[in-house]
Amino acid sequence: MARRSEHTREQLRDLMLEAAEQLIVDKGLAGLSARAIARQIGYTPGTIYLVFANLDELILHVNARTLDRLRVPMQAAVAATDDPEQQLLGAARAYADFARSHPNLWRACFEHRLPEDVAGPDFIDARIAQLVELIMAPLARVSGAEGAALDAAAQSLWSGVHGVCILTLTGKLHMVGGQATEHLTDDLVTHYLAGLVMRAAPADAR
């Protein structure tokens, strides 16, 4: 017992994040435990606390990685065209697609709850802000909105897409005529955008 320097702190950190990620992918947040991570990487639970303050912090870092990975396809969707409406549709579809392909990782980002009195760390907030900012420019272009109105549009649209993903992926919406995630995100985005554009430049005023 008591090996020395088998891995550096950094290596250990990566091993733990990797193992935790795999556990979440396989069995969801509920399947994650300090003991399971330790077992997976051949250490004891105590070692985890040499690297992270507690399990919550470890999970937050897994989530940060997930949010980074989620940004890639969304960014690609925005870069794929110059039509701002298509950019927004693409981003929403990329979001929904990521959520559907990595349900447990994606859900971990939003289901994980810190203790009542602890605030989320900046490195998570910043990554969420990055995602919302991705859609700001196209949204400004289609709607002509700016300032607080633009902020509101970005937040409500993004939240809306998020809501569709959550409810369809957790099976809380499979009632009569339950619809596919993609279909509903498209419906939400196109109608919201149409309404937003109309409000900005009403047909009556043409």
The site partner of 4 among a second copy, DNA, none (C-beta below 5 to 8 Å per kind) is DNA
Pick the piece of the chain touching a second copy (CB under 8 A) from 5-13, 51-59, 83-91, 155-163.
155-163
Contact flag: residue 43 with DNA (CB under 7 A): yes
Contact flag: residue 54 with DNA (CB under 7 A): yes
Cα–Cα distance list, 63 to 3, 171, 184 (Å):
30, 22, 26
Q: Which of 13, 25, 45, 103 binds DNA (CB under 7 A)?
A: 45
Contact between residue 79 and residue 176 where contact means Cβ atoms under 8 Å apart: no
Positions in 17-36 near a second copy (CB under 8 A): 27-28, 30
Q: In whole angstroms, give the CA distance from residue 100 to residue 109.
A: 14
The site partner of 6 among a second copy, DNA, none (C-beta below 5 to 8 Å per kind) is DNA
Q: In whole angstroms, give the CA distance from residue 11 to residue 70.
A: 24
Q: In whole angstroms, give the CA distance from residue 156 to residue 162.
A: 10
Query: Binding marks (x or -) toward a second copy, 160..199, rule CB under 8 A?
Result: xxxxxxxxx-xxxxxxxxxx---xxx-xx-xxxxxxx-xx
Give the burial string for 138-163 (b: 16+ CB within 10 Å, else e).
bbbebbebeeeebeebbeebbebbbe
Length of the chain: 206
Contact flag: residue 32 with DNA (CB under 7 A): yes
Pick the piece of the chain touching DNA (CB under 7 A) from 3-11, 74-82, 117-125, 139-147.
3-11
Residues that bind DNA (CB under 7 A): 1-7, 12, 32-36, 38, 42-50, 54-56
